[in-house]
Amino acid sequence: MLTIDLGGKRAFVAGVADDGGFGFAIAKALAEAGATVCVGTWPPAMGIFEKLLERGKMQQSMALADGSRLAFERIYPLDAAFDVIEDAPSEIRENKRYRERGDFSIRGLTDRFVADFGTPCLDVVVHSLANGPEVKLPLLDTSRRGYLDAISVSAYSNISLIRHLAPLMRPGGSFLSLTYMASERVIPGYGGGMSSAKAALESDTRTLAFEAGRRHGVRVNTISAGPWASRAATAIGLIGRMIDYTRKHSPLTRTFEATDVGAAAAFLASPLAAAITGTVLYVDNGYHAMGMGVEEPSPPTPTE
């Protein structure tokens, strides 16, 4: 019988600050498959996240199928907008929410892994990071700074994570990111350059699969997930409408769950997917396959 077995593997999921998003669902699925899991959290959200864990506010969501509970091996501070600490402006480095966390850059994260576990020490890396400061603005009204910030955090950070962490990967290592249908089709309201960032992320996935595959022997894939009402997605302002519309017009009308993405991520991280790289895997109840919306049946004509 085929099983997803990640026993003895160490995973790192970048972009976990609560139990409501895809990052947490993926972390939990990887743990269910036997991996130990480290996470990276944005420094301003890290204190709240740690308190939620310490006070048992996430007890129910941390429960695993075998009766045990998810326990993060490490929680690292990470602001993926910065490759090295010197890139961060002084007002950020001196902010108390950052200053107390030490080196929160991608290079700082890499150094912490080496210090804590030696090298090689990683098997799975998940990029669950996205931020568009002007996401509520139409692309036509997005500023240059807003556009570049969206690209930086949502797409370029994946390049940087792979560049820094691939040398720490053990044989068979897997990198995974999360994308969205707005990369290839118009989603009104998903603005601020985020659609461009997702398109870049998917294009980079193919190129990085080749380059990192040849240089480090790792795989690079991305999951195009259906809309989900995470705390971050709620900031877009129309997430409820996106969810309702997608469910109405998808081949499968079942409720889409974050656990669907977690299960797909665990598969892609496992030896079962050893020959899969450079791929966009759609996990969206088949919505991506539709070329036209489903028409509502006409109401019956009242009889006299």
Q: Using one digit for the tens of pLDDT, what is the confidence trace for 231-265?
A: 666 666 678 888 899 999 999 999 999 999 999 99
Give the N- to C-terminal CA distance of the chain in Å, as an integer: 63
Average pLDDT, integer, range 170-192: 95
Residue-level pLDDT at 304: 46
Q: Diameter of the chain by CA atoms?
A: 81
Residue 142, pLDDT score: 98
For the chain, which domains are there?
10-287 (3.40.50.720)
Higher-confidence position of 216 and 295: 216
Res 285 pLDDT > 60: yes
> Residue 150: left if φ>0, alpha if ψ -120 to 50, beta else—which one?
alpha
Choosing from 76, 156, 180, 287, which is the catalytic residue?
A: 180
Classify 116 as helix, strand or coil.
Answer: helix
Q: How far apart are CA 38 and CA 40, in angstroms?
A: 7
CA distance 39 to 24: 9
Tell me the three state secondary structure of residue 303: coil
pLDDT at 226 over 80: yes
Q: Please say if the pLDDT value at position 300 is more than 80.
A: no
Selected catalytic residue, list 98, 190, 245, 287? 190
CA gap 231, 75 in Å, rounded: 19
pLDDT reading at 200 higher than 50: yes
Amino acid identity of 145?
A: R
Q: Quick check: 173 and 219 in contact, CB under 8 A?
A: yes
Q: What are phi and psi of 10, to 5 degrees?
A: -115, 130
Q: Quick check: is 76 catalytic?
A: no
* Mean pLDDT in residue range 118-134: 97
Average confidence (pLDDT) over 193-212: 98
- pLDDT tens-digit profile of 69-103? 999 999 999 999 999 999 999 999 999 999 999 99
Does residue 293 register a pLDDT over 90? no
Spatial neighbors of 45 by CB under 8 A, at least 6 apart, are 17, 18
Segment 158-174 shows an average pLDDT of 98
Nearest to 137 by CA among 149, 148, 146: 146
Residue with the two structure tokens 């009402």: 229
- pLDDT surpassing 70 at residue 268: yes
Predicted local distance difference test score (pLDDT) of residue 303: 57
Torsion of CA 200, 202, 204, 208, to 10 degrees: 170
pLDDT of residue 242: 86
Local confidence band at 297 (pLDDT 50, 70, 90 cut-offs)? low
Mark whether 190 is an active-site residue.
yes
**What's the average model confidence in pLDDT over 268-279?**
98
Please tell me whether the overall predicted TM-score, pTM, comes out greater than 0.85 for this model: yes
